[in-house]
A = this chain, B = another copy of it.
Amino acid sequence: MTRLATDNLALIKSATLSEDLAQQLSNAIVQGHLAQGSKISEAELAKQYGVSRGPLREAIVKLEGLGLVTRTANVGARVIELNLKDMLDTFTMREALEGMAARLAAETMTQNEVTRLYALLDQHQSHLDNNQDEQYMQQGGNDDFHLRIIHASQNTKLIRLLTEELYAIIRMYRRHTSDQRSDPRQALREHRAILDAIANHEGDLAELLMRRHISRASQLLKQAMEKTGLASH
Binding site for B on A (CB under 8 A): 14-16, 19, 54, 57-58, 61-62, 64-67, 73-74, 85-86, 89-90, 92-93, 95-97, 99-100, 104, 155-158, 161
In the bound assembly, the distance between CA atoms of A138 and B225 in angstroms comes to 46
Interface of A is mostly: helix
Q: Beyond the given A93-B97, A93-B158, A161-B161, could you list 12 further A-B residue pairs with CB under 8 A, ordered by the A residue number? A: A14-B73, A15-B74, A57-B58, A62-B64, A67-B157, A86-B156, A89-B155, A89-B158, A92-B158, A95-B100, A96-B97, A97-B97
4 closest residue pairs by CB, A with B: A65-B65, A15-B73, A96-B100, A96-B96
Contact B86 A157 (CB under 8 A): yes
A selection of 26 A-B contacts at a CB cut-off of 8 Å is A15-B73, A15-B74, A16-B74, A57-B58, A58-B58, A61-B61, A65-B65, A67-B157, A85-B156, A89-B155, A89-B156, A90-B157, A92-B100, A92-B104, A92-B155, A92-B158, A93-B155, A93-B157, A93-B158, A93-B161, A95-B100, A96-B99, A96-B100, A96-B158, A97-B97, A161-B161
